[in-house]
Structure 1
Amino acid sequence: MRNILVIEDSPLVLKILEHLFRQEPTLQPVFCASLAEAEVMLETSAGLFFAAIVDLHLPDAPNGESVDLVMRYRLPCIVLSGSYNEQRRDELLMKGVVDYVLKESQHSYEYAFRLLHRLEHNAKIKILIAEDSEATRHYIRHVLTPHRYQILEARDGEETLRLLAEQPDIDLLVLDHAMPGISGFELVKLLRQKMKRHELIIIGLSADAKGSLSALFIKHGADDFLRKPFCPEELNCRVMSTLERRDLLRALKQAAQFDALTGLNNRRAFYEQGLQLLQQARRDGHELSVAMLDLDHFKQINDGFGHASGDSALVVFARALAGAFPNALLGRLGGEEFALVSAQQADDLAQALDRLRRQCAGLHYAAGAPPLSFSAGLYRGEPDDLESLLHEADMRLYRAKQQGRARTVLAL
């Protein structure tokens, strides 16, 4: 739970904010209607707050004194204002507020909440500023710091490459076009040979007036481009927008690859990775072990205890399966059916499945439900065709069910 200080006196704005906060269970608002109330609250409890949403003009703080108050306590500050003043906006952004949001529409307030959520995520985001001008590096750092990013700096291409090699978890690179040594263009081309867009975001910078420069940067592999000089708001919007696009792509990839309920590979991803394992085993001259697994009497769990209990059984089993076989390829192929591909010898794998079965018998997944149990068919052979290997394992799974379930069958 994150406590958010809200300093606002407008009944209409408060009504909108209260409605939005009710939809955010992880954010807990504390409302103050005046500067005086906020002073008391911060003096006694400043350490409890994660961030603040602050009205720029209050009856007892008509000139932004409420913003100055929050900034003194080093709280990330999102400013709300009923009127737009570009000079005032720039002053506030350079002072270190997170953003300056106009009270225009529902979208404006939703944008403020987007900023709150980004502040939560941004603490894990690393940004590298590659720029030979110390003044420009300082300016960019000053603009980005209120958003809680981790900021690194490089003065040339060689230092940029060194930092990226030392810290492969860097998320975003702000890269100047004209640096000593390796140019920005060359660096983008070099980096894109090694790192895909979802691995590193690149935003190009240049003071060059040529209109084609932005297109050249993007064609070489940059995600976005800014022409210097740029205002703080533009930089913040470009950085936030590219990070959100990256997060969306990752979420789409996650949805395409993993089963939404259990977190294991879905059928498509399992087959794709299984084919890769087969090709590698074929090159190395190794056999592979393949297992098909089925939860026993799963329909009875759904019918007798409800589908929520069935889902819980699947989740608990998938977690136990992943813990028992950390080095194997695992997948949920559909319903209560799971599959496994491993380089482990078949006898050793069968023993491991028996240990997992004993473990599952003691796992709780729903009140009053029967012990969790599964049947398995196991086959080891030449890695010629994944479908054939799975078919052989499936035949043995069928035999395990014929023999009374709760067992692993290795030989027909």
Structure 2
Amino acid sequence: MKKILIVEDSDMVMKILRHLVQASSLPYEPVYAISLAQAVALYDESPADFFAALVDLNLPDAPDGEVVDFTLSKKIPTIVLTGSYDEKRREQLFNKGIVDYVTKEGRYAYSKAIAMIHRLEKNQHIKVLVVDDSDMSRKHMANLFRRHLFQVVEAVDGVDAIQVLLENPDIKLLITDYNMPKMDGFELVRNLRYKYDKTDLIMIGVSGESSEALSAKFIKHGANDFLRKPFHPEEFYCRIIHNIEYLELVEQITNSAQRDHLTGLYHRSYFFNAARELYKTAQEKSSPLSMAIINIDNFSEINQQHGNAWGDEALKQIASSLQTMLGRFLLARADSDDFYVMLPGLDHEKAAAFLSKVKQLLAAEQFVINGQNIGVYFSAGVTSQLHNSLDQQIAKANEYLRRAKDAGGNMIVDDGDE
């Protein structure tokens, strides 16, 4: 497990930081030091294991920020705790390459520092595109992103940016200069907005030109935000993080609306919408597509023996296991103890064989229900017959499921059993 290095000589501040870290959900092990010497010793024990550092600027054995020089020299993203704001020192710290600094002004400041580490964790999975024909300006913005652990790709003009986007469809944020050859920032934003909604791709315009209308023009063309050059790192990060968190909030709300409230799997409505797209693609490309309906054979027994509340708990545990095994396919809770699975690329034979392995693995698990270890087994109907509609394919899978249940359950019936 990666570690977070926290260096602070104040007992009171360290106590607050320990409490905040313990209360957080950081997937990293915190290690604590009260001096530069102790921090160096901790680093030497496992030099490759540090994700980030949160360090006090003034320590008894490092009164002039030497601990910052140490962590940065080891390529550890560093957040600085400082007792006071000083413009000259702030500029020096950013020039060295820190992530950010936090002034010690109460509990909120320390919570903010821990939140920055959370942000760094998330940023690792976010890809951004920097578009600017000036090498110096483009590299400067790219480096600012990299300090916060974003994945960064670059483009030299609007035409190049469109090509990069086609090659990297997972880009979440684009920041573009205004004045560029071939295609300027306005044209780029306007063209991309025909394809990407504001909740699909964040676009931020930047410019060093003095026209007051530039920001309005960028926004009118579809940009989410605008930055005027030159800008302070704090302003840059504030705008970036604000827009990223907005996007994450929209994604979270959208995702919640698509999920079954009990199990967290997709619900029926989302499944049908997504399945129709898979069905349409399979028909157009004549590619295999299997539909499976899974039913938990002994769920009624669990419900009757332990009550509805424990029945719900059983469904949550079963759904979690199915998600682990089937999550790469389109999986949804259909109704009560029925689950739908759409398996693109697999014909009925391969899909049935795969589900047989899933059935074996699920049967081998022990689910703790009302203090008892309970085994679970299921039946399934599987078909790769596309027929004339998705509804007909689902009906065929349901017919096979009924046959499996009528035959005693704990089995899979597919097209080969016709």
Return closer, same or farther for 1:370/1:157 CA change in 2, 3 Å cut-off. Answer: closer
| 2:17 equivalent in structure 1 | 17
Check whether the contact 2:81–2:102 (CA below 8 A) recurs between aligned residues. yes
Identity of aligned residues (%): 38
Structure 1 CA distance for aligned equivalents of residues 200 and 266 of structure 2: 21
1:84-118 Cα distance to aligned partner (Å, 9 max, x none): 12332122112101001111232222221222122
1:145-164 Cα distance to aligned partner (Å, 9 max, x none): 32223333333223323333
Greater Cα offset, 154-163 or 8-17: 154-163
Structure 1 CA distance for aligned equivalents of residues 402 and 209 of structure 2: 70
| 1:85 equivalent in structure 2 | 86
Check whether the contact 1:281–1:383 (CA below 8 A) recurs between aligned residues. no
Amino acid at match of 1:8: E
Check whether the contact 2:381–2:399 (CA below 8 A) recurs between aligned residues. no
| 1:141 equivalent in structure 2 | 142
1:14-163 alignment, distance < 5 Å: 14-24=14-24, 26-43=27-44, 45-163=46-164
Structure 1 CA distance for aligned equivalents of residues 43 and 342 of structure 2: 57
Counterpart among 365, 368, 377 of residue 372 in structure 1: 377
Check whether the contact 1:362–1:371 (CA below 8 A) recurs between aligned residues. no
Structure 2 CA distance for aligned equivalents of residues 391 and 22 of structure 1: 51
1:278-331 Cα distance to aligned partner (Å, 9 max, x none): 777999999x986644211203235657554443333334555667xx5xx543
| 1:331 equivalent in structure 2 | 332
| 1:316 equivalent in structure 2 | 321
Amino acid at match of 1:14: M
1:243-254 alignment, distance < 5 Å: 243-254=244-255
Q: How far 1:31 moved relative to its partner?
A: 1.9
| 2:370 equivalent in structure 1 | none
Structure 2 CA distance for aligned equivalents of residues 63 and 383 of structure 1: 75
- State the aligned residue count: 405
Check whether the contact 1:94–1:142 (CA below 8 A) recurs between aligned residues. no
Check whether the contact 1:377–1:395 (CA below 8 A) recurs between aligned residues. no
Residue aligned with 2:194, SS: helix
Greater Cα offset, 170-179 or 128-137: 128-137
Structure 2 CA distance for aligned equivalents of residues 369 and 272 of structure 1: 35
| 2:355 equivalent in structure 1 | 356
Structure 1 CA distance for aligned equivalents of residues 28 and 109 of structure 2: 18
TM-score (ref. length: structure 2): 0.80
5+ residue gaps, structure 1, are: none
Greater Cα offset, 163-172 or 3-12: 163-172
